[in-house]
Amino acid sequence: MSDGAGGAIVTWQAFTVHLNMVAQHITAAGVVDRAWPGGGRALSITPRQQSLADIVSDGAGGAVVAWQDSFAVVAQHVLSSGGLDPAYPDTGLQVCNLPTQAGDVSLVATGASGAIASWTDSRNGKDTDIYAMQVLAITAAGVPGPASSGLAFAPPSPNPARGSLRLQFGLPRSARVSLVVCDVTGRRLRELASGIRPAGEQSLTWDLRDDRGAAVGAGLYFVRLEADGRTITRKVATLH
State which residues form the domain around 193.
Answer: 152-238
113 and 29, same domain (yes or no): yes
48 and 74, same domain (yes or no): yes
**Banded model confidence at residue 49, pLDDT cuts 50, 70, 90:** confident
Q: List the one residue out of 76, 75, 54, 57 whose CA is nearest residue 8.
A: 57
Is position 142 within any domain?
Answer: no
25 and 51, same domain (yes or no): yes
114 and 190, same domain (yes or no): no
Q: List the one residue out of 51, 99, 57 whose CA is nearest residue 74.
A: 51
Q: Phi and psi (nearest 5°) for 86? A: -65, -15
pLDDT in tens, 219-239: 889 999 998 778 888 888 888
Mean pLDDT across the chain? 83
What's the confidence (pLDDT) of residue 114? 76
Peptide bond into 160 cis (omega under 30): yes
Is position 3 within any domain?
Answer: no
227 and 197, same domain (yes or no): yes
What's the confidence (pLDDT) of residue 139? 40
Residue 67 neighbours by CB distance under 10 Å = 29
Q: What gap in Å lies between CA 153 and CA 41, rounded to an integer?
A: 33
122 and 162, same domain (yes or no): no
Q: What gap in Å lies between CA 21 and CA 10, rounded to an integer?
A: 11
Section 138-145 average pLDDT: 39
What is the CATH number for 159? 2.60.40.4070
Domain count of the fold of the chain: 2
pLDDT in tens, 29-47: 999 998 898 889 988 877 7
76 and 156, same domain (yes or no): no
pTM above 0.85, yes or no: no
- Domain boundary pick from 135, 167, 190: 135
- What type of residue is 239? L
Q: Half-sphere exposure of residue 163, counting CA atoms within 13 Å on the CB side?
A: 2
Number of H helices, E strands in the chain: 0, 17
Section 204-227 average pLDDT: 91
What's the confidence (pLDDT) of residue 141? 35
115 and 158, same domain (yes or no): no
128 and 13, same domain (yes or no): yes
pLDDT in tens, 148-173: 447 888 888 888 888 889 999 888 88
Is position 2 within any domain?
Answer: no
77 and 118, same domain (yes or no): yes
What is the CATH number for 100? 2.120.10.10
- Domain boundary pick from 107, 135, 163: 135
Which region among 51-60, 99-108, 213-222 has the lowest average model confidence (pLDDT)? 99-108
Sheet (strand 219-227) strand order: 188-197, 175-182, 219-227, 230-238
158 and 114, same domain (yes or no): no
98 and 165, same domain (yes or no): no
